[in-house]
A and B are shown apart, each in its own frame.
Chain A
Amino acid sequence: KQEVTQIPAALSVPEGENLVLNCSFTDSAIYNLQWFRQDPGKGLTSLLLIQSSQREQTSGRLNASLDKSSGRSTLYIAASQPGDSATYLCAVRGQAGTALIFGKGTTLSVSS
């Protein structure tokens, strides 16, 4: 059974710092991996999607990497801002069209 773990569960950093969020999964046979952002009490916003054949994806200040063989993904946030404060969720899909398996998230707080 696929399990997804996110470390740390919470992270506090000062504005301007670069940071890395970690995601690990137990079964390397994934179709793709998605990173989401969730603001308190709100829905999920998709940030980046990495196909199993890809090594990384970039969007603005965000960069996500994937090492399928070791079962790891990282989300790198450059020059963090208070507006980046949210919970970041990692999710993997085993096959095309199947449901996502989620980690429990990392709650990020960026102070000004």
Chain B
Amino acid sequence: DADVTQTPRNRITKTGKRIMLECSQTKGHDRMYWYRQDPGLGLRLIYYSFDVKDINKGEISDGYSVSRQAQAKFSLSLESAIPNQTALYFCATSDLSSSYNEQFFGPGTRLTVL
């Protein structure tokens, strides 16, 4: 089984709808991240969480919110989706106690907003 899973893998929705993307991990890592990837722009950080009680905004947090329900679960919400939020969304985890502090990524969620 994959260590970092994302659901759904693909989603098509309409402008104005509320959408939730979910991320779960079995790696036992304390830190979790949400990125979005747009063609030609690379990956950009949306939100990150260092533990259940710690949530921080990233570079492009406007229009998004997150919830860290447990150490293993980190959800990303689009309160009112708009077409320019069409992108590939990635969840990632890392373990601060690890000397390498490597980030591990989920398989991604492709979101299309019509």
Interface residues of A (CB under 8 A from B): 4, 31-32, 34, 36, 41-44, 46, 49, 51, 89, 91, 93, 96-100, 102-105
Contact = CB atoms under 8 A, between A and B. Distances in A.
A93 B101 contact: yes
26 contacts: A32-B100, A32-B101, A36-B105, A41-B88, A42-B107, A42-B108, A43-B90, A43-B106, A44-B90, A44-B105, A46-B103, A49-B100, A89-B42, A91-B43, A91-B103, A93-B103, A97-B31, A97-B94, A97-B96, A98-B48, A99-B48, A99-B58, A100-B43, A100-B45, A102-B43, A105-B42
B33 interface: yes
- 4 A-B pairs with least C-beta separation: A104-B42, A43-B107, A97-B96, A44-B105
Give the interface SS of chain B, mostly helix, strand, loop or mixed.
strand
B102 A46 contact: yes
A96 B42 contact: no
